[in-house]
Chains A and B, each alone.
Chain A
Amino acid sequence: MNVSHAPIASLSAPNEQAERALAALWTRPPGLLGWLCSTNHKDIGRRYVVTAFIFFGMAGLLAAAMRIQLAFPENHFLGPDLYNQFFTVHGTTMMFLFAVPIMEGFALYFVPLMVGTRNAAFPRLNAFGYYAYLGGGLLLWGGFLVNAGADAGWFAYTPLSGPDFSPGHRVDIWADMITLTEISALSGAVVVLATVFKQRAPGMSLNRIPLFVWAQVVTSFMIIFAMPAVMVVTAFLAMDRLAHVNTHFFNPAEGGDALLYQHLFWFFGHPEVYIIFIPATGMVSMIVETFSGRRLFGYPVMVLSLIATAFIGFGLWVHHMFATPIPLLGRSFFSAASMMIAIPSGIQIFCWIVTLWTGRPRLRVPLLFVCGFILLFVLGGLTGVMLASVPLDLQMHDTYFVVAHFHYVLIGGAVFPLFGAFYYWFPKWTGRMLNDSLGKWNFWTLFLGFNLTFFPMHILGLHGMTRRIYTYVAETGWGDLNLLATVGAGIIALSVLLFIVNAVTALRDGIFAVANPWLAPSLEWSTNSPPPAYNFYNLPSVSDAEPLWHSPEQKPVVVGLSTEKREVLNTTIMDAVPEHRYELATDSIWPLALGIVVTLTMTFVVFTPWAVPWGMFFSLLVLYAWFWRGNEPKFIVEAAKPKPQVAAQPTLVAPA
């Protein structure tokens, strides 16, 4: 194995003039307007990640405030009403505005690079997805700032969230922001899938796709089948609540059913956990492979585990409802399914351990976070298996044991890999390296702070402390462990601060990153750090699963794509054989316009149903402009013309 730190010469521009010409074609227009119009997947991916990280910070501050409130019995830092808003906005932000979008941001940035293409499919849809997401975030937090923060919990169960028990507009804002974030998640999923299906480098057959990309494919399919459920259920809720509409989906007096809400919500809500976790496993696989210096053990098993997780993930939702009157058979079925999902996750863990064990691991910061992930996720998984058991679940339901469990799964299972991914891909992103020793401090403080905060919650839950209470009396004896958890939360905050300091100083005067600083095997490392607007001057071809580890300079490269319009190569779905060329849409302001129209629609629909027809009208107008101002077609036929000759085979020219 002869890996180089330098970019692969055969994929780079032959001279500066050629470089400049292609860069001019693919670079967005200058200025703020150009930035708003950008349809480059790297711009959009970066926006998602930065925005989601800001929301992570803000939701983290809410968590810190809740920990201060709970540090002592009968504390008066937050009142009950504010506390309700804090935990609801915290949970909603973390799930809808942080976890899913940040994973999607990584996908949109890295999937096109990893499959060896110049931009994601449907660039304008991609740009619109971000604006819809941002609109959703502004709606939720705008409401929160004017004391209309959602306050019925992140899953807003009826009847609490219904018109009778939650007057005002807090829940309406919650329900409508969900729609915006899900529009964004769905468009991102479609973009990722079309990119992976049709734009892979020649030769990247299904068994050579990097595991991160596989993970994003599986996640995108889960998004497509899960997210409609939350859009349906929040639409039902909004219609039940909206004046002049007043349907009775969840009103038992008119034949409605509150449990229908729970079924629909968790039909989305459980897969949601895997929508967050599966991309994280993709990150872990990439990091483990790179830092153990050997090909990943059990690649086919890993891919099958991801797919199995996705399938089983749709058969678990009722385990959130064990405390409701569901049939015994249902309980047994969902209990068994909930235990079964530990199998594919366990397989993945063993594959990573074997890879590390049989490789030559370099314990750099990204791998450190991965080791933390393995430990914490196994702990979270164990409590998950415990909660899958119905009798135990009935005891633990709605206690801090559950809070501890899902923070171990979500922070251990997704945030640790995410920090690892930051350290791993930051150089590719920015062209600068993050500081190593600060990174180690970052890891150890996060690991310590996390366990201090959330481990005591297991015990508190067993002692009967329920979720979502704003205070407790001293006689419960919960004070000491709560104080410990609050101290831990402070250490987590310190750790995140260290990360921000690290990132800011690295951006200003970190050492420059080479193309492949970690000697990694996947294609995103074959181009400069940061990558040029067009990603690869010549598109790569692939003949194995670790292209940069097996004489990358010797592999054929793709030439002959247009240098006058933004063209990408389309290949076949299974074997990635070159099929045809495909012109992508140019930069455009209309995705932003549509984002604004859709956001305004969902804002006004908090107050009036007439927002829907008006919103639809303006959306269609914008979409007409979007389409009409597309790329001007080069060959317009004015009369019937025979079908042009197609299917010329690509010519493979042997090296001289």
Chain B
Amino acid sequence: MNTAVIDVSRLPPAVEDHTSPIWWGNLLLLFIETTMFALLVGSYFYLRMNFTNWPPVRSDVSLYQTDPDLGFATANLLVLIASCVPMFIVDRACLRLDLRSVRFGMAAMVLIGLVTIALRFFEFSGLKFRWDDNAYSAIVWTILGMHLLHLITGTAENLLMTLWVWFKGLDIRHARDVRVGAVYWYWIALVWIPLYALVYLGPRWL
């Protein structure tokens, strides 16, 4: 063969950073999910135009104060924001292929995920309406529920990676997977900040 060649055999066989296709794939999936939440937010404001009181008052049980409870919701928000710290520590440990830190850090992330899921169920009970009461409750339950789905999938993904690193160890490719999972978790936490503000502070402040 007399053609010039580009020999790629000395290029790294895997990378851990944003040049990896799976990092991009994850980002694109987050575009999809962010669009979904944006549409829910749009629907929230659209439905709000039909109400004079938002949330509506409940004359049936003389419940005039129907803003959703702040307690568990705020606790969950703080847990979610704080959870980015251990996730970030795991993220950095992956770069060093520090198996011990990744093992314990991921186990901690699973526990934190379970806590946020549990808190979310208490959040539902702090809403003053059932999902089938009116359009307000429909959209609020959906926003909380869709985010709950992400808490579950995010925690399930962290559990999977935890099992992997405990049973199989850590190599560059799986360290990359943990790091991509970390990006997902940061998104789960950060996207909740505006949604929390909308659902819990919106009725009080807007």
List the interface of chain A (C-beta within 8 A of B): 10, 14, 121-122, 125, 186, 189-190, 193-194, 197-199, 202, 224-225, 227-229, 231-232, 235-236, 239-240, 245-249, 251-252, 254-257, 260, 263-264, 267, 538, 541, 553-562, 567, 569-570, 572, 578-583, 616, 620, 623-624, 627-628, 633-644, 646-648, 650-656
In Å, the complex CA distance between A235 and B4 comes to: 55
B184 at the interface (CB under 8 A from A): no
> Considering residues A197, A227, A267, which has the most beta carbons from chain B within 10 angstroms of its beta carbon?
A197
Given contacts A224-B32, A228-B35, A257-B47, 14 further A-B contacts (CB under 8 A): A10-B1, A194-B25, A224-B35, A227-B32, A236-B138, A249-B139, A254-B133, A559-B5, A580-B19, A620-B153, A637-B99, A639-B99, A650-B8, A652-B5
B131, A245: Cβ atoms closer than 8 Å = yes
B83 → chain A, closest Cβ, in Å? 20
B28, A193: Cβ atoms closer than 8 Å = yes
Given the interface pairs A247-B132, A558-B8, A560-B10, the reply to whether A635 lies near B171 with Cβ below 8 Å is yes
In Å, the complex CA distance between A121 and B168 comes to: 25
Q: Specify which chain A residues have a CB less than 8 angstroms from the CB of B21 in the assembled complex.
A: 121-122, 194, 197-199, 570, 582
Given the interface pairs A248-B138, A260-B47, A652-B4, the reply to whether A570 lies near B24 with Cβ below 8 Å is no
Q: Specify which chain A residues have a CB less than 8 angstroms from the CB of B170 in the assembled complex.
A: 636-637
B4, A251: Cβ atoms closer than 8 Å = no
Q: Specify which chain B residues have a CB less than 8 angstroms from the CB of A569 in the assembled complex.
A: 8, 11
B156 at the interface (CB under 8 A from A): yes
B33 → chain A, closest Cβ, in Å? 8
23 A-B pairs within 8 Å (CB atoms) are namely A121-B21, A122-B25, A189-B28, A193-B28, A228-B39, A231-B36, A239-B138, A247-B131, A247-B137, A254-B135, A556-B3, A560-B8, A560-B9, A569-B11, A578-B8, A581-B11, A636-B170, A637-B97, A642-B96, A650-B7, A650-B11, A651-B6, A651-B10
In Å, the complex CA distance between A557 and B10 comes to: 15
| Cβ-closest 5 pairs across A and B | A560-B9, A247-B138, A255-B135, A556-B4, A648-B10
The residue in chain B whose Cβ has the minimal distance to the Cβ of A648 is: B10
A232, B134: Cβ atoms closer than 8 Å = no
Across the interface, A570 reaches (CB within 8 A) one of B20, B95, B134, namely B20
> Considering residues A254, A263, A264, A642, which has the most beta carbons from chain B within 10 angstroms of its beta carbon?
A254
The residue in chain A whose Cβ has the minimal distance to the Cβ of B34 is: A228
What 1/0 mask marks residues of chain B from 30 to 44 whose CB sits below 8 Å from any chain A CB? 011101100110010
What 1/0 mask marks residues of chain B from 8 to 20 whose CB sits below 8 Å from any chain A CB? 1111111100011
A182 → chain B, closest Cβ, in Å? 10
In Å, the complex CA distance between A207 and B206 comes to: 48
Q: Specify which chain B residues have a CB less than 8 angstroms from the CB of A646 in the assembled complex.
A: 12, 15
Given the interface pairs A194-B21, A260-B46, A579-B11, the reply to whether A644 lies near B172 with Cβ below 8 Å is yes
Given the interface pairs A202-B6, A232-B43, the reply to whether A197 lies near B134 with Cβ below 8 Å is no
Q: Specify which chain A residues have a CB less than 8 angstroms from the CB of B24 in the assembled complex.
A: 193-194, 197-198
Main secondary structure of the interface of A (DSSP, over half): mixed
B169, A638: Cβ atoms closer than 8 Å = yes
Given the interface pairs A248-B135, A249-B135, the reply to whether A653 lies near B7 with Cβ below 8 Å is yes
B6, A556: Cβ atoms closer than 8 Å = yes
B43, A251: Cβ atoms closer than 8 Å = no
Q: Specify which chain A residues have a CB less than 8 angstroms from the CB of B174 in the assembled complex.
A: 633
The residue in chain B whose Cβ has the minimal distance to the Cβ of A558 is: B6
What 1/0 mask marks residues of chain B from 79 to 95 whose CB sits below 8 Å from any chain A CB? 00000000000000001
Q: Specify which chain B residues have a CB less than 8 angstroms from the CB of A239 in the assembled complex.
A: 138, 142
The residue in chain A whose Cβ has the minimal distance to the Cβ of B173 is: A633
B12, A640: Cβ atoms closer than 8 Å = no
Across the interface, B3 reaches (CB within 8 A) one of A553, A635, A648, namely A553
Across the interface, B5 reaches (CB within 8 A) one of A189, A240, A653, namely A653
In Å, the complex CA distance between A229 and B20 comes to: 29
The residue in chain B whose Cβ has the minimal distance to the Cβ of A627 is: B160
The residue in chain A whose Cβ has the minimal distance to the Cβ of B50 is: A255
The residue in chain A whose Cβ has the minimal distance to the Cβ of B5 is: A559
Across the interface, B2 reaches (CB within 8 A) one of A249, A583, A656, namely A656
In Å, the complex CA distance between A578 and B173 comes to: 19
A257, B7: Cβ atoms closer than 8 Å = no
A204 → chain B, closest Cβ, in Å? 13
Given the interface pairs A224-B28, A249-B135, A580-B19, the reply to whether A654 lies near B9 with Cβ below 8 Å is no
A559, B97: Cβ atoms closer than 8 Å = no
B113 at the interface (CB under 8 A from A): no
A583, B14: Cβ atoms closer than 8 Å = yes
B180 → chain A, closest Cβ, in Å? 12
> Considering residues B1, B7, B8, B47, which has the most beta carbons from chain A within 10 angstroms of its beta carbon?
B8
The residue in chain A whose Cβ has the minimal distance to the Cβ of B171 is: A633
A578, B50: Cβ atoms closer than 8 Å = no
A616, B152: Cβ atoms closer than 8 Å = yes
A636 → chain B, closest Cβ, in Å? 4
A251, B135: Cβ atoms closer than 8 Å = yes
Given the interface pairs A10-B1, A582-B21, A637-B97, the reply to whether A647 lies near B8 with Cβ below 8 Å is no
The residue in chain A whose Cβ has the minimal distance to the Cβ of B169 is: A636
B29 at the interface (CB under 8 A from A): yes
Q: Which residues in window 149-203 of B have CB below 8 A to A? A: 149, 152-153, 156, 160, 164, 168-174
The residue in chain A whose Cβ has the minimal distance to the Cβ of B136 is: A255
Q: Specify which chain B residues have a CB less than 8 angstroms from the CB of A256 in the assembled complex.
A: 47, 50, 134-135, 138
In Å, the complex CA distance between A578 and B6 comes to: 9
Q: Specify which chain B residues have a CB less than 8 angstroms from the CB of A260 in the assembled complex.
A: 43, 46-47
Q: Specify which chain B residues have a CB less than 8 angstroms from the CB of A648 in the assembled complex.
A: 10-12
B68 at the interface (CB under 8 A from A): no
Q: Specify which chain A residues have a CB less than 8 angstroms from the CB of B22 in the assembled complex.
A: 122, 194
A228, B3: Cβ atoms closer than 8 Å = no
B51, A14: Cβ atoms closer than 8 Å = no
The residue in chain A whose Cβ has the minimal distance to the Cβ of B54 is: A255
In Å, the complex CA distance between A646 and B142 comes to: 46
In Å, the complex CA distance between A231 and B43 comes to: 13
B2, A229: Cβ atoms closer than 8 Å = no
Across the interface, A14 reaches (CB within 8 A) one of B1, B19, B33, B152, namely B1
B204 at the interface (CB under 8 A from A): no
In Å, the complex CA distance between A616 and B40 comes to: 21
In Å, the complex CA distance between A588 and B22 comes to: 18
In Å, the complex CA distance between A633 and B14 comes to: 11
Given the interface pairs A248-B138, A255-B51, A633-B173, the reply to whether A190 lies near B14 with Cβ below 8 Å is no
> Considering residues B11, B22, B134, B173, which has the most beta carbons from chain A within 10 angstroms of its beta carbon?
B11
The residue in chain B whose Cβ has the minimal distance to the Cβ of A251 is: B135
Q: Specify which chain B residues have a CB less than 8 angstroms from the CB of A652 in the assembled complex.
A: 4-6
Given the interface pairs A560-B7, A641-B97, A651-B7, the reply to whether A583 lies near B173 with Cβ below 8 Å is yes
